[in-house]
Structure 1
């Protein structure tokens, strides 16, 4: 009979230990005359072979029609095949190795490694499941995400929650795996129970990570910004390209990327142009002469916006907003479906209106007037005698 270790083995608790352990014990007894190393190798090979057979049966036990009706289940089965085999192998090894002819100290170390591996595989399985479900949900989003506020909301929630879940699962998995080993478990308990300098240093080091993680969860729930929202942060205008568990990536109009920590973002004010709707109203300004016929320009503005698909068809207004000393200021309001089209529409309207003024009302462009009182106005500027200043 092989010597067994007294340490707790989670793999034995989850496995059907009685029949398998009994079979392993009988096999060890039958191989009594063989070297201990060879007996152990035979038991390991038998456990791996049994894991492969069970894995094959389980993978092919799921009916094909069910996988076709449930695409997320098909993706999950495909992604977890390798993990399932590793889990079965660890469980069976943890069940048969206590019957192997090896020293108790060696067996204890092996079981600790298998227990830690089992915990890591469980954490890996959870992360794969979260990834699979998130990818499936994101695949259902519409193609034109910029025009759909609800789609941007769901994309943001799933992306942030996926990354936050990864961080939490990773932290719990690593902590649980390390606590399997007695030396690490004792150190962890003493570290958590102590209020000394070491605990203070660890707490201060973990504070930025935890604050950003909490900020990410808060953004996913409260939705102050979403993926593809048009925002102005620190005077920089751009779109939210990606939201991770610790920072936000802003795609600026010149294709540069600005990285903003989540904790900082929630503590500082910023502008979100598309929080409730992707539609925007763009403004265009001109300074023109007092002689300009404003009603005629209103008709021309209406004609310009109707000539481009950039206009959403809702708002087109021309107003005189300022009367300055030499010019008046005109402001046009035009609506677009999203921030990118609003920018292009503003540039288009500005360009076409300048072309119209140059072609039909060149005298209405801004100019400086000079009025000479009490003197006849010459027919040609060259007739004006130059003014000579004394040296």
Structure 2
């Protein structure tokens, strides 16, 4: 910069270097954001490897965590690869954040004639005989009543998500089988009332005006 003939060349080089630095900075902004997000995930640990999560509407397990992306193994063995920032910017469910045990529900839609107390006792017998139950939570409640059916909610707990899935299926199958065998009238049915002609009336005949 001390020599006039080279001053213009030096100024051009510095200006070009500044422009290149700005372009590189903009291009690297996303990468740097991912790296910072990866460090935040490592420090705060909202997710860990083998955590059970629901993300993007899919149920799966955290298989791999890097500084830039996360791999989620879905129940049907597909893999979802998400940017690390997704777990800081978007809501997701972590079913094993503090512990793996979970409470599951099974809904049944039955006729008003269903014997709720008897079904509650049967539910307890089912879960107590099941190898999937963790011995903690079990219950049956009527949570709704519509013009045709009542809604019963069975709840039970298990040690982890996969065991809970098996327990819920077992409860659903055995309760439906019990109702079908012992109380078939409690299954949902559509009732129609056919009233005859009222007092002082006679049924219409063909040709009557």
Q: 1:305 aligns with which of 123, 127, 137?
A: 127
Note the 1:229-248 alignment, pairs <5 A: 229-248=51-70
Aligned twin of 1:254: 76
Please say which of residues 198-207 and 309-318 is displaced more in the overlay: 198-207
Name which of 342, 350, 374 aligns with 2:164: 342
Report what 1:370 is aligned to.
192
Shift of 1:194: 7.2
The partner residue of 1:204 within 12, 19, 26 is: 26
**Secondary structure of 2:168's partner?**
helix
SS, match of residue 203 in structure 1? helix
How far apart, in 1, do the equivalents of 2:85 and 2:121 lie? 50
Q: Deviations over 1:223-250 (max 9, x none)?
A: 1111111111121121111111211111
- 2: distance between equivalents of 1:238 and 1:263? 18
Please state if 1:276 is matched with 2:129: no
Structure 1 residues 364 and 340: CA distance shift in structure 2, 3 A: same
Runs of at least 4 residues off by over 6 Å:
none
From 113, 119, 143, the equivalent of 1:321 is 143
1:327, 1:217 → 2: CA distance?
52
Is structure 2 residue 34 aligned with structure 1 residue 224? no
Q: Larger helix proportion, structure 1 or 2?
A: 1
Q: Distance in 2 between matches of 1:358 and 1:338?
A: 30
- 1:330 aligned to 2:152? yes
Aligned residues: CA RMSD: 1.8
User: In structure 1, the residue corresponding to 2:152 is in which secondary structure?
Assistant: strand
Change (3 A) 1:263 1:194: farther
Separation of aligned partners in 2, 1:227 and 1:204: 32
TM-score normalized by the length of structure 2: 0.83
Question: Take 1:363 and 1:222, find their aligned partners in 2: how far apart are those partners?
Answer: 55
Question: Deviation at 1:195?
Answer: 6.0
Partner residue of 1:179? Answer: none
Give the CA deviation at 1:209: 2.0
1:204: Cα distance to partner? 2.0
Could you tell me which of 325, 350, 357 is aligned with 2:179?
357
Match of 2:36 in 1: 214
**CA positional deviation for 1:323:** 0.7
Gaps (5+ residues) in structure 1? 1-189, 376-391
CA drift at 1:297: 0.5
Residues 307-364 of structure 1, C-alpha deviations (whole Å, 9 max, x = no match) = 2111111000100000111110000110010111111111111011111111111111
Please show how residues 48-127 of structure 1 align to structure 2 within 5 Å: none
Between the aligned partners of 1:195 and 1:286, the Cα distance in structure 2 is: 70
- SS class of match (1:283): strand
1:160 equivalent in structure 2: none
Give the structure with higher Rg (CA): 1
Distance in 2 (CA, whole Å) between partners of 1:264 and 1:281 is 27
- 1:25: which partner in 2? none
Residue 48 of structure 2: SS of its match in structure 1? coil
> In the alignment, what sits opposite 1:291?
113
Query: TM-score when scaled to structure 1?
Result: 0.45
Q: What is the CA deviation profile of residues 119-144 of structure 1, one whole-angstrom value per residue up to 9, with x for unaligned ones?
A: xxxxxxxxxxxxxxxxxxxxxxxxxx
2:49 is paired with a residue whose SS is coil
